[in-house]
Amino acid sequence: MPERRPRKDAARNREAVLAAADALFVRCESPEDVTMADIAAAAGVGKGTLFRAFGDRAGLLRALYEARLEPIRQAVEVGPPPLGPATPPRDRVPALLDAVLCFKLDNRRLALALEEGGSSSPYRAEHYGRWHSLLRAVLEQVPGLTDSDFTAHALLAATRADLVEHLAGEERIPRERMRSQLANFVTSVLASGPPQGLTAEE
């Protein structure tokens, strides 16, 4: 099956919708007061178009999220340390979580809209699955650390969009402070367990 590519206008409209949605989410107070009709209007497009292109609200949000996430995904999969695969586990774990935190700080409303969007739990999203299994795998390589699966969940939970929003918005905690607090937290989780040998173990 040749998988014929979409028509030109379809592609153009798809981009217009993504751009419009992004802009609206940045400007809005809360994600739920940007409606599908709003997005369609802002993109100069009919509602039908928007639903045909993305299926439903969640689909649109996902598409936006994935697009924004792409650079980080690259950096994690094939980039240089401290995010890339060549990093020693004890350094990579904090780096990964810091990246997630920064991403959510930079895309607060969007992340909020997607994670707490209602209907299905954020834990079913495949992007969560990716972060979790990656983190889990890296944690597994940290000597003396058990329960990597749960630990990965728990660490990621510390970067939940609504928590980040609360800390940044309500408690007015500055970005750098939040990053360092998360780093400390992660470190303390990693630090426990058997003596994490200094430099020379034998």
Partner DNA sequence: GTCAAAACGGACCCAGGGTCCGGATTCTAT
Partner DNA sequence: ATAGAATCCGGACCCTGGGTCCGTTTTGAC
* Positions that interact with DNA (CB under 7 A): 4, 6-10, 12-13, 32-33, 35-37, 44-49, 51-53, 56-58
**Candidate segments 15-23, 46-54, 85-93, 154-162, binder of a second copy by CB under 8 A:** 154-162
The CA dihedral of 115, 118, 122, 123, to the nearest 10 degrees, is 170
**Least CB distance to DNA at residue 115 (A):** 16
37, interface contact from a second copy, DNA, none, CB < 5-8 Å by kind: DNA
**Least CB distance to a second copy at residue 160 (A):** 6
* 153 touches a second copy (CB under 8 A): yes
**Least CB distance to a second copy at residue 132 (A):** 10
CA distances from 114 to 80, 86, 151, 160 (A): 29, 31, 23, 11
Q: Which two three-digit tokens encode residue 85?
A: 């695969």
**Least CB distance to a second copy at residue 148 (A):** 10
Q: Nearer Cβ to DNA, position 57 or 109?
A: 57
CA distance 185 to 100: 14
CA distance 174 to 118: 28
* 55 touches a second copy (CB under 8 A): no
Q: Nearer Cβ to DNA, position 7 or 27?
A: 7
Site for a second copy in 12-51 (CB under 8 A): 32
* 174 touches a second copy (CB under 8 A): no
CA distances from 191 to 91, 94, 128, 186, 200 (A): 12, 12, 25, 8, 17
Q: Nearer Cβ to a second copy, position 53 or 167?
A: 167
